[in-house]
Structure 1
Amino acid sequence: MTISKLETLPQHDKIIRSLSPEPRPILRLQAMRSAEMAAMKRGSSVDDLMEKAGKVAASITRSFAGNMPALILCGPGNNGGDGYVIARYLEEWGIPVSVAAYSEPKTDAAKKARSLFSGKVTSLDEAQAAPLLIDALFGVGMSRSLDEDLLSKLKAFSKAASLRVAIDVPSGVDTDKGSLLSDIPAFDLTIAIGALKPAHRLEPASTLCGRVAVGDIGLTIQKPDLIEIPKPRLAAPTPADYKYSRGYVAITAGAMAGASLLSAVAAQRAGAGYVALLGGEAVSGPMALVHRSWSREALADERINALVIGPGLGRDELGVQRLSMALDTSHPLVLDADALFLLKREGLDCLRNIRQPTIITPHEGEFKRLFDGISGDKLTRVTKAAELSGLVVVLKGADTVIATPDGRAAISQPAVSWLANAGTGDVLSGICGAMLARGMDPFDAACAAVWLHGEAARLAGPGMIADDLIGHLRSAFVEVTVTA
């Protein structure tokens, strides 16, 4: 069924619901600089922004750590300037504060911030550890490793502290790539100034950031091309809806019946009104799951709103034939697992020739095989792959990244570690199919699916297997369903 034919199902529009209207932006370094410049054009100064940043960071820190005595490490730039402002507010609020400077302030705003702090500033060599460590050394924009002596001191202060807070990003992290420039310690809280940055959501930096809180400094951010995957809002079915108006998902079965069954049951639990397994050996499953033989007639059913192919497909000649037939349909597609393996044989041109709305969901190994000519950090690679293929690409992982051919991208919140389990990817492909079948565009569908997948895993808890993940989809779905 083509997207245009959705117009023949007026009820269908009532259950199409996109994402939360205001997903949180994630700003790369250049975008952050542009947002700050825009604020200054509207009348704010660097001093104003630093004052706001320091005050909100101090407030968040106090909420997090209470009146715990603090050691603030200040660098020479504006991140260090934020540190001096934080010190001033904490001191005003009666919290014991020590400030240690890596070097003298070098920017005018940082110099002013230091001059307004009435307390003593020592060198790092003279500093004494405190229960609360605040890293305001370098923040965003670093491109080199930390000096070994500085790194050693940072580790020592961190080890002695009970709580560790980083301002904007931990010093020693590449802001845009999420990579580590040095072997830095982990933090309990990172306060993102103005907006999230890629390093707050990309591994390995994300793990070292700990909890992340965004400190609002009044920036106006319009139409960001990179967002954090938000909690979706999905409309509940209306009294006028029926099984086909809620979305018909077809799952192509094959050599490994269990994988396709996981995908099919996940699509059911994710709200699809009708789910059919096409082909493959008959396997047990919910009574409402339809089993149909593989045929061109079954595949040509215009009521199908999404076709999932790959989980359990197999890599033999039969799998090749079924994939070829699926690509010849006009149904929106979800391609995963064996379908991605087989597509690699055909080359990138095969992906470019796909005309229907399509989501591909590779894990890191599948991505590298499929796009072996693309290098760089994760965000860059996924964005480039989407551009070259013309498809929505979902690179699964602890930091799942989704990208579109037109340059939009989204990063998930950190996934729970127990998602690294056989069959969980098959579950995700089924959820993607259900979201596509609702009539959502592929990017919104992928974002909603990744959020539901992650939330179901969180609800399932440690020790879960893919079956448990499906079992908790219902609870995750309840969280995002809204009534008219």
Structure 2
Amino acid sequence: MTIPAGAPILTSDAMRAAEAACAESGLSLAELMERAGAAVADLAWRIGAGAPVLILCGPGNNGGDGYVAARRLAERGVAVRVAALVPPTTDLARAARARWTGAVEALAPGMKGAPLVVDALFGVGLSRPIASELSKTLEGLEARRILAVDVPSGVDGDGVEPWRAPLKADVTLALGALKPAHVLLPAARDCGTVRLANIGLSADARWQSLPIIKPSAPDAAAHKFSRGMLLVRGGAMPGAAALAAGGAARAGAGYVVLSGAGAQVPFAAIIAEDGAAYGARLGDKRLGAVVIGPGHNAGAALGADVAAALDSGKALVLDAAAIEAALPRLIDERGQHRAILTPHEGEFARAFPGLTGSKIDRALAAAEQSGAVVIYKGADTVIAAPDGRVAAAWPGTPWLASAGTGDVLAGACGAMLARGEGAFDAAMAAVRWHIARAARIGPGLIADDLIGT
């Protein structure tokens, strides 16, 4: 599974607004459909290698894209069959159907498949799951490869409802912009490899897939403090703080201090300090950021450590129980702290109960509420900023689903913050580093491998 990097993501409402803006600027919706259908035909031509194609057309504009693609493929000499669920119901789809001069079969149980099936039944506007009878028909369709137009039919394009697609796509062609379904589970599993077709829309890029971020080498004048001094505050489970400190060092921090009784230093290059020196170190003017939470249990000791870190005015990475400990002050002092929160699903639900919508919606609501950048972890990690920016990091790597890898990510976030990056940019860089490092290691990965050589 792959996703275009740094591509805009639009909800169905945002997509309709972008289409309306195109129409106002002189690019007609009919021309958009023609471009979309041509893009589908081009991709079907490439992946089908001239083999017969069956295009399934629905009643709306997604089906209209399918009729355009059928005409374009037939003009290239491809053997094309079209099967429709019902006649077109929109003016654009009717016009596209009228230009298709071939036969139209009924989409019915037991119908013959094809080497390549193009799913143009339902797009992002689907408001309910596909009926069970149609699902059975689609599941029984024989095909070597499935190409979905915009989203696989049956999924919720906005990623709110957990609907699944009867036809799991091998390739999905996103039209104009990615949709939340392409980057959020469970729908993302049904999309296969996602490609993006530029059809002339001007898309708001505040929401995007995770961009490619290449690590920058220190310049000739760099030294350990200019590369960022980071403090990792240890707790009752010193191994977690050691992983965070090691992650910070490997992610490029110039100077890492691990503070706490019984600190387990993973490398000789990391400075261990007794917990009593914590307050003094927070006052060090060279200190760029603090990581707190890995290995900490909730309680008065953590509350005191978090309060001291907030009082210091340093940039913060708050993980695990430290998120809830810090949240009341973050909310009261919204916008006064440069902070990154790194909750997994359970931690997010405890810190931000009652939020609804897609994972993107909930991450944005949490960022707005806290005034901090939120890395809502998982296979479909979402990074959200209080100003409305989003980066979606699907797909990551399943080998990160093991104990301690989140501690390493917290350390990497601290490394990026300590050298002066904005919280959102630091979070994106850390997540990209985390995924790339895990992908290089691959099967059998444990958290310790992430901080190894």
TM-score range (shorter-chain normalised) is: over 0.9
Structure 1 gaps, min length 5: 1-21, 473-484
Are the structure 2 counterparts of residues 34 and 375 from structure 1 closer, same or farther at C-alpha, using a change threshold of 3 Å? closer
1:456–1:470: 8 Å Cα contact kept in structure 2? no
Cα distance, 1:271 vs. partner?
Answer: 0.8
Distance 1:348 1:330 in 2: 16
1:83 aligns with 2:74: no
Correspondence for 1:167: 149
Q: Distance in 2 between matches of 1:471 and 1:461?
A: 14
Q: Which residue type is aligned with residue 433 of structure 1?
A: G
- How much has 1:42 moved relative to structure 2? 2.2
What do residues 208-230 of structure 1 show as CA deviations (whole Å, max 9, x unaligned)? 111100011011224x3211111
2:431 maps to what in 1? Answer: 450
Evaluate the alpha carbon distance shift between residue 218 and residue 183 of structure 1 in structure 2; reply closer, same or farther with a 3 A threshold: closer
Match of 2:98 in 1: 115
1:288 to 269, 275, 285: 269
* Match runs of 1:11-22 below 5 Å: none
Q: CA deviation at 1:350?
A: 5.2
Match of 1:198 in 2: 180
Contact 2:330 2:371 in 1 (8 A): no
Partner residue, 1:17: none
| 1:268 is the counterpart of 2:252 | no
Q: Does 1:66 align with 2:49?
A: yes
C-alpha distance in structure 2 between counterparts of 1:438 and 1:67, whole Å:
53
Task: Give the aligned partner of residue 143 of structure 1.
Answer: 127
- Supply the distance in 2 between the matched residues of 1:209 and 1:185 (Cα, whole angstroms): 10
Distance apart, 1:176 and its partner CA: 1.2
Q: Residue 290 of structure 2: SS of its match in structure 1? A: strand
What TM-score, normalized to structure 1?
0.88
- How far is 1:143 from its partner? 1.0
Alignment correspondent of 1:300: 283
TM-superposed deviation, 1:185: 3.5
Question: Retained in 1: the 8 A contact 2:227–2:419?
Answer: yes
Aligned match of 1:353: 333
Judged with a 3 Å threshold, the aligned counterparts in structure 2 of structure 1 residues 462 and 367 are, in CA distance, closer, same or farther, namely same
In the alignment, does 2:116 pair up with 1:132? yes
Q: Specify the SS of the correspondent of 1:291.
A: strand
CA root-mean-square deviation: 1.8
Aligned-residue sequence identity (percent) comes to: 48
TM-superposed deviation, 1:391: 1.2
Q: Compute the displacement of 1:57 (Å).
A: 1.4
Q: Report the AA paired with residue 143 of structure 1.
A: S
Amino acid at match of 1:374: L
Contact 1:172 1:180 in 2 (8 A): no
Paired residues in the alignment total 445
- Relative to the length of structure 2, the TM-score reads 0.94
Aligned counterparts of 2:432 and 2:216: Cα–Cα separation in 1? 16
SS of equivalent residue, structure 1 residue 162:
strand
**Where does 1:212-361 land on structure 2 (aligned, <5 Å)?**
212-222=194-204, 224-294=205-275, 295=277, 296-343=279-326, 348-349=328-329, 351-353=331-333, 355-361=336-342
Q: Is the 8 A contact 1:179 1:199 kept in 2?
A: no
- Aligned residue identity for 2:115: P
In the alignment, the residues of structure 2 paired with residue 239 and residue 195 of structure 1 have an alpha-carbon distance, to the nearest angstrom, of 40
CA contact (8 A) 2:383 2:391 kept: yes
Which AA in structure 1 matches 2:113?
A
Q: How far 1:352 moved relative to its partner?
A: 3.5
The residue type paired with residue 356 of structure 2 is S
Partner residue, 2:139: 155
Return the structure number with greater relative CO, CA threshold 8 A, min gap 6.
1
d(CA) in 1 for partners of 2:451, 2:235 = 21
2:8 counterpart letter in structure 1: P
Provide Cα deviations, 1:192-237, integer angstroms capped at 9, x if missing partner: 0111011100110001111100011011224x32111111244321
Please state whether the residue corresponding to 2:430 is helix, strand or coil: helix
Segment drifting more, 180-189 vs 297-306 = 180-189
Deviation at 1:461, TM superposition (A): 0.9
How far apart are the structure 1 equivalents of 2:182 and 2:58? 21
- Measure, in 2, the Cα distance between the counterparts of 1:402 and 1:113: 40
* 2:409 corresponds to: 428
The one-character-per-residue Cα deviations of 1:63-89 (angstroms, maximum 9, x if unpaired) are 223223211110011100100111112
How far 1:182 moved relative to its partner?
5.0
- Pairing 1:188–2:161 present: no
C-alpha contact (below 8 Å) 1:332/1:357 kept by paired residues? yes
Assess if the C-alpha contact under 8 Å between 2:62 and 2:121 holds in 1: yes
Paired with 1:283 and 1:434, the residues of 2 have a C-alpha distance of 19
Deviation, 1:334, is: 0.1
What letter corresponds to residue 353 of structure 1 in structure 2?
E
Query: Does the 8 Å contact 2:242/2:263 carry over to 1?
Result: no
Distance verdict in 2 for CA 1:215–1:396, change over 3 Å:
same
**Ranges in structure 2 where 5+ consecutive residues have no aligned partner:** none
Shift of 1:375: 2.8
